[in-house]
Structure 1
Amino acid sequence: MSTESVIPYDLVATKMNYWYNCIKNNRSAAAEKAKAEVEQEIKVMEENQDALVYFSLLEFRHQLMLEELYPGSEIKIDKHYKKLKEAKGSQDLYGMLEYYYQFFMGMYHFRQKELVLSLNYYRKAELEIEAIEGDNTEKAEFYFKMAEVYYHMKQTYFSMNYAKRAYAIYKEEPTYGNRRVHCQFVIAGNCLDNMHIEEALKHAKQALEDAEKFGENYLIRKALFNIGVCYTNLEEFDKSSEFYLKSLDILEPKNDEFTARALYLLAYTKARQNDLRSSKKFYEKSLKLAQQNNIAETLATLKIVKGIYLDSDLDLVREAFEFFEEKKLYPDMEWYGVCIGDTLTEQGEIRGANEFYRKAIEARKQIRRGDFLNEI
């Protein structure tokens, strides 16, 4: 290779920074174009190991974006995960590269629903975040991901704190409107967990209004779904069904995981209304999708609908709770434990009701102790 044809690594790094900004904004078409350009330029780039590591990290982050936007597609994220682990090997990374490695690994394990492992990586990334000098949007991205994982662990105050910090930064960045919507989703979810349901509904409706301005189907669909969840918590089941069905009307981008969950909640909602015929119809549709795509969490929750409402088989429900416990999904154990206890009480099954109330109490103890947050 002649020296005249060699591209300075810092010019390629600048293009990689643009690529990363496209990824963070979920601009998949622009990200694909930038990725293709970087792939060509890196072949004739002057040798620089840090730039090559940065490329490997962004390649992995690119796949995480695609999996988030198009779950259930032919994207083989595990292959890219192994490739990145091999690329790092025993190499020591410092500063920004160490931050990105820990951060992206946390995102990967979050997608795998390995929340404890995800948080462990995020905590390590937080130790390096000061290496991201002068880039507030990157800090906002990190704060949002922390808010997200703490929300799923039902560590409400931690989650709300990080979500508000992220939102305050995104509010000053007009090109990050989609991230403002995501922050609204997390804030609404935390309000639900604190039983501030009307406040949650307000944030969910604001998220829908903002999502419609941006015209992003996947955001509109999720916002409609979240409004449905709020109405489910208010036990306004006709309204919740209306919003779940509206969310299912948005077919693109394809997301079988989302569809299976929305169909499950329709099955649950209809069962709560004692419309068992409709419940069974939605149950069967959800089950088919969940089995085809091996969606473990939805398969577990479907056992609750079948075991409580369709077949009266508490052993199925116990299997679902074994899954929750194995995956340390204590928030799900608590919520479903109370709902099932209430339903069994209404059915006169006092012994069964007490069993699941106890499971809910034990889950609440685990959440309050936060033991599962400290498993390093």
Structure 2
Amino acid sequence: MPEQIAHQEVANSLNEWYGAILKRDKWTATQLRKEIEDSLPYMTKNQNILLYFNLIESRHKLLMEEYDDSGKILGNIETIKALEQVTDEVIQYYYYFFSGVYEFYQKKYIQAIRFYRQAEAIIDKIPDEIEVAEFHYQLAMAYYRIDQHFFSINHAEQALQLFKCQQGYVEKEIYCEMIIGANKLDMRNYTECEKHYQNALRKSIQAEFTFSESLAYFNLGLCYGRQHLYPTSAEYFKMALSIHEHKSSTVGMKSMFELAHVLYKDEKFEEAQEWHKKGLYEAEKGGEEEYKAKFIFIDGLYNTKDALSMELALDHLEDQKLWTDVAELTLDAAFHHKKKGDTLLSSHYFEKAHYARDQIIRLMEGLN
């Protein structure tokens, strides 16, 4: 009969597993998960360690883009917490934090922030600086998605400084640079935005992180697109898509959308429609309803002129409370129609953009 394993030893392995997840090292994370799972039947009994395993498992599922499975695990943990009356504050912290990460991946950004705030109330019980850095990083991303740029930058800078103090977290530094750059982009500070994205690109190339390199190209594409430098923007999106790991991920489908969009704006309609077709296929295959709606909207705007399909696409985005995306798309539509001299449609979309911005403010008021 195999020898019993002390639960403290399993706890150390769980921390190692979580560390691999934070570094996005899928291979190591998968290997450690298998080793730990095999050891659990021989572990000395400890309910908190089993809960901790399930919490890390939920985070592992997010890394592997198995979102439904992650949600199911968190639902089961919520039931166990209530039944067992778990009081361990570290377990409580990870439950709230991972629930926030899950809600973020579900694009429920306000709910994510609510969970993060519950985690923040007990974060002083977490002695690990890397964990604190990861918390600030995730909160920065959530605030960015609801246009709270100063909050987002503040948390991203805190995360960046903490990651810089530790060895082995260069990729996390890169992602922090990109979050700060994204906020500067929305604030129209293009010089600062480009500086952060170029820093991210340089560090990615030096460290041979091909996926973060592709994200840097993607973000530079967004930066130049916002400045109406459409040919340059398109080239950067193509550079991102030339990297297999990027093209085969959900971010690849987003690059196809952005590439099609800037090509439409640059009046390269034939090439735009080719990328539009590829991107819509990927969105349908992956069940990405948000991006299906976006593809339908820009197709109606630049190609089919199908006003009904455009309105239905906006309805879907509004139902999901993706007000930032609604504002961006309708503002593009407003300027497109203004350029064409159609003041009626231009006014219609300007009003929709204004309404979407109001909803972002209301969401923040509800959060506070």
Q: Which residue of 2 aligns with 1:344?
A: 337
Q: Which residue of 1 aligns with 2:195?
A: 202
Q: Within 5 Å, give how 1:99-178 maps onto structure 2.
A: 99-133=93-127, 135-178=128-171
Q: Which residue of 1 aligns with 2:69?
A: 79
Gaps of 5+ in 1: 68-74
Identify the range of structure 1 (187-196 vs 38-47) with the bigger mean alpha-carbon deviation. 38-47
Aligned residues of 1:260 and 1:286 also touching (Cα < 8 A): yes
Q: Give the distance between the partners of 2:247 and 2:91, measured in 1 at CA.
A: 33
Aligned residues of 1:204 and 1:227 also touching (Cα < 8 A): yes
Deviation at 1:317, TM superposition (A): 2.2
Question: % of aligned pairs identical?
Answer: 28
Aligned residues of 1:366 and 1:372 also touching (Cα < 8 A): no
Of residues 69, 72, 91 in structure 2, which corresponds to 1:97?
91
Letter of the structure 1 residue corresponding to residue 245 of structure 2: E
Q: Could you say which structure has the greater relative contact order, defined with CA pairs below 8 angstroms and 6 or more residues apart? A: 1
The question of 1:321 aligning with 2:314 is answered yes
Q: Which residue of 1 aligns with 2:275?
A: 282
Deviation at 1:40, TM superposition (A): 2.1
Q: Which residue of 2 aligns with 1:71?
A: none
Letter of the structure 2 residue corresponding to residue 15 of structure 1: S
Q: Within 5 Å, give how 1:149-298 maps onto structure 2.
A: 149-252=142-245, 255-298=248-291
Of residues 291, 303, 306 in structure 2, which corresponds to 1:310?
303
Aligned residues of 1:147 and 1:161 also touching (Cα < 8 A): yes
Deviation at 1:237, TM superposition (A): 0.6
SS in 1 for 2:14: helix
Aligned residues of 2:240 and 2:246 also touching (Cα < 8 A): no
Q: Within 5 Å, give how 1:31-110 maps onto structure 2.
A: 31-67=29-65, 75=66, 77-89=67-79, 90=82, 91-93=84-86, 94-110=88-104
Quote the RMSD (CA, aligned, Å): 1.7
Q: Which residue of 2 aligns with 1:72?
A: none
Q: Give the distance between the partners of 2:267 and 2:213, measured in 1 at CA.
A: 29
Q: Deviations over 1:273-302 (max 9, x none)?
A: 111111111111111111111111211111
Distance 1:181 1:84, change over 3 A: same
Runs of 4+ in structure 1 over 3 Å off? 253-256, 368-373
The question of 1:18 aligning with 2:12 is answered no
Aligned residues of 2:331 and 2:353 also touching (Cα < 8 A): yes
Letter of the structure 1 residue corresponding to residue 331 of structure 2: V
Deviation at 1:314, TM superposition (A): 2.3
Q: Which residue of 2 aligns with 1:29?
A: 27
Q: Deviations over 1:163-220 (max 9, x none)?
A: 0110111111121101001101110110011111221111111111111122122111
Aligned residues of 2:214 and 2:246 also touching (Cα < 8 A): no
Kindly tell me the number of residue pairs found equivalent between the two proteins: 364
Q: Give the distance between the partners of 1:24 and 1:371, measured in 2 at CA.
A: 29
Aligned residues of 2:59 and 2:70 also touching (Cα < 8 A): no
Aligned residues of 1:256 and 1:293 also touching (Cα < 8 A): no
Q: Give the distance between the partners of 1:349 and 1:179, measured in 2 at CA.
A: 46
SS in 1 for 2:107: coil
Scaled by the length of structure 1, the TM-score of the pair is 0.92
